Amino acid sequence: RASLTVDPDSTVFTGESVTLKCEITGYDGWRFKWYDYRGGRWAAVPQSGFYTVNSNTLTIRVVPVINGDQYRCRGEQSNRPKSSQYSNSVTLTVKERPTAVVTINPANQVFRGESVTLRCDLQGGGGFEWTYSWYKGNPVSLYSSTQEYEISPVEYSHSGKYSCRGTVRGTSRSSHTSTAVRLTVSGELTLIVSPSRSQHFTTGSLSLICEGQSNSTGWRVRRYSHSERKVSDCSSGWGSVTGSTCNISSLLTSHTGVYWCESESGGRNNHVNITVSSESALFLLHYTH
């Protein structure tokens, strides 16, 4: 009896080719015929169109219309009217080639010195074991075969467009290459205290501004309160956020604490110690490293 095998697999992607191989162990001198099941019956495969017959192999250029087709083969002796039994049948399942999608975390803005993670997701890639290729620009390949590509610490030189592609492990079968996604690395965050004079009192006000090399988004002003012994955000009640500024309209001694800017990914600038004294005392402002 003839035996039928498939390379690379009976599940294939649109646009790929698949090769069927017919073998009869222990016998020579066979010619092989190929059949597919269509219209409710088995019929000989034509040597044209999407099919190429070469000795004991049948190569099929896969298109969606052949999804679910069954194939089988058998051998015939050239010098006598003798045929083998039909082989086992193989059913081809055709899937759309998966689409790769890159996401960046944090998504809004990344500051120099922070960590950033790029992730490659394959839409329609279930049922396979994948390796991943990462690209920066075109066609620079990055050394990474994992689904997530982490850069830490991130530098200005890491800015650029990134794309990815999945490959079925152990084969050359791949997904579509993703649309490139831009990573922009901004300057380190700086906390600006306004007014910057050295003396402040409880009757005064204070503005805290987070700035980077470019327009800053995705940041927040945080404070460690010495009196409350806890960390909180400007928007939690002790201040109000307007645009890129955290405003404290009426300073209290309880505003004494350590202040800093923090991005969505957890990156932060150097801390600023602020001490608020009563109206008769000095307001001390100093920086620590």
Could you give the CA distance from residue 33 to residue 74 in angstroms, rounded to a whole number?
Answer: 6
Predicted pLDDT at 192: 87
Contact, 26 vs 42, CB < 8 A? no
Q: Output the tens digit of pLDDT for each of the chain's 289 residues.
A: 889 999 888 888 888 889 999 998 876 778 889 999 988 899 998 877 788 888 899 998 877 667 778 999 998 876 666 777 889 999 988 888 999 999 999 876 788 888 899 999 999 988 889 999 999 986 677 777 899 999 998 998 999 999 999 999 988 889 999 999 999 888 777 888 887 865 678 888 999 988 764 545 567 889 999 888 999 999 898 999 987 789 999 998 888 889 988 876 666 777 888 888 886 554 444 444 4
Could you give the CA distance from residue 19 to residue 28 in angstroms, rounded to a whole number?
Answer: 21
Contact, 239 vs 230, CB < 8 A? no
Tokens encoding 240: 């109000």
Omega prior to 46 cis, within 30 of 0: no
Tokens encoding 262: 């923090």
Cα separation values, 204 from 73, 257, 261, Å? 91, 16, 22
Spell out the domains of the chain, with CATH numbers in brackets. Answer: 3-95 (2.60.40.10), 99-186 (2.60.40.10), 190-287 (2.60.40.10)
Task: Tell me if residue 147 falls in helix, strand or coil.
Answer: coil
